Structure 1
Amino acid sequence: MPPKRVVVQSGRREQEDAGLFGTAYKEITKPENATIVRSVVIFSAAVAFFHSSLSEFLIPPL
């Protein structure tokens, strides 16, 4: 009697079901991407600060 055939699913199916936002969230929260995510967040915060009126506090008085 031949052995039964075992079908193994790959993790690829989970990625297809997750959709765009689910896949993006998984990639952002991976530990190997933590430094890049932190850098982007800090850069975005700095740009927002310098674009706001709060950045006028950095200008020395005349």
Structure 2
Amino acid sequence: MAPKQQRVIVQKGGSRGGDPKGAIANVYDTLTSSENASVVKSVLIFGGAIAIFSSSLSELLLPPL
């Protein structure tokens, strides 16, 4: 019995199933993912607190003498 023939489909062009995403697009998709929302919010709040405490605005939080 002869073996079955196999068909090979050749695609013309250089695209492989769509354009691959760049690094910036991957980072943006990761940061805006709903799974990472709590982590992103926590990091932003922490960064904002550090920025306020290291600036001259932190003197407003001190009690008057």
TM-score (norm 2): 0.69
Q: How much is the aligned-residue C-alpha RMSD, in angstroms?
A: 2.2
User: What's the counterpart of residue 31 of structure 1?
Assistant: 34
SS at match of 1:23: helix
Structure 2, unaligned stretches of length 5 or more?
A: 9-16
SS at match of 2:51: helix
Q: Would you say how many aligned residue pairs link Structure 1 and Structure 2? A: 53
Q: After the TM superposition, which parts of structure 1 deviate over 2 Å for at least 4 consecutive aligned residues?
A: none
CA–CA distance in structure 2, aligned partners of residues 59 and 34 of structure 1: 33
> Is the helix fraction higher in 1 or 2?
1
SS at match of 1:60: coil
User: What's the counterpart of residue 43 of structure 1?
Assistant: 46
Q: Which has the larger radius of gyration?
A: 2
Of residues 49, 52, 56 in structure 1, which corresponds to 2:59?
A: 56
Shift of 1:29: 0.6
Structure 1, unaligned stretches of length 5 or more?
A: none
Shift of 1:25: 0.2
